[in-house]
């Protein structure tokens, strides 16, 4: 698969974890009055909210011409979850720090 065929999916997975996952997690903690969640709690909540958009990840047809992009989407999704869990998603860690500093 060419890079230009993956470009939009790459950008989506660059943004969705922190724009959707961490933003909704921060609001959830704020509304619950939890000012200092642990990093692990914040990461888990981020993944929980990111998983709510998973129907979009599987929305391309299961036809031959979509096989490579579907495989790539699955790879990027799993990679995003693993990075968040391991604390290797820089944007999620920044969002966590900002939340506990300014909650």
Per-residue pLDDT of the chain (103 residues; tens, 9 = 90+): 677 789 999 999 999 999 999 999 999 999 999 999 999 999 999 999 999 999 999 999 999 999 999 999 999 999 999 999 999 999 999 999 999 998 6
Is the pTM above the cut of 0.95? no
Look at residues 25, 55, 56 and name the one whose alpha carbon lies nearest to residue 41: 25
The boundaries of the domain holding residue 22 are 3-102
- Sign of the CA dihedral with 20 first, then 22, 23, and 29 last: positive
| Residue 1 exposure: Cα atoms within 13 Å on the Cβ side | 16
Tokens of 95: 């969002």
> What's the number of domains the chain is made of?
1
Query: Considering only CA atoms, which of 32, 18, 17, 20 is closest in space to residue 103?
Result: 32
């Amino acid at each position: 698969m060419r890079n230009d065929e993956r470009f939009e999916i790459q950008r989506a997975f660059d943004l969705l974890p922190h724009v959707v996952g961490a933003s909704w997690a921060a609001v959830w903690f704020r509304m619950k009055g939890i000012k200092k969640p642990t990093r692990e709690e914040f990461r888990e909540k981020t993944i929980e909210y990111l998983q709510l958009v998973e129907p979009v990840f599987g929305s391309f047809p299961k036809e031959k011409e979509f096989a490579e992009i579907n495989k790539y989407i699955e790879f990027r999704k799993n990679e995003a979850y693993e990075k968040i869990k391991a604390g290797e998603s820089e944007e999620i860690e920044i969002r966590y720090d900002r939340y506990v500093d300014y909650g």
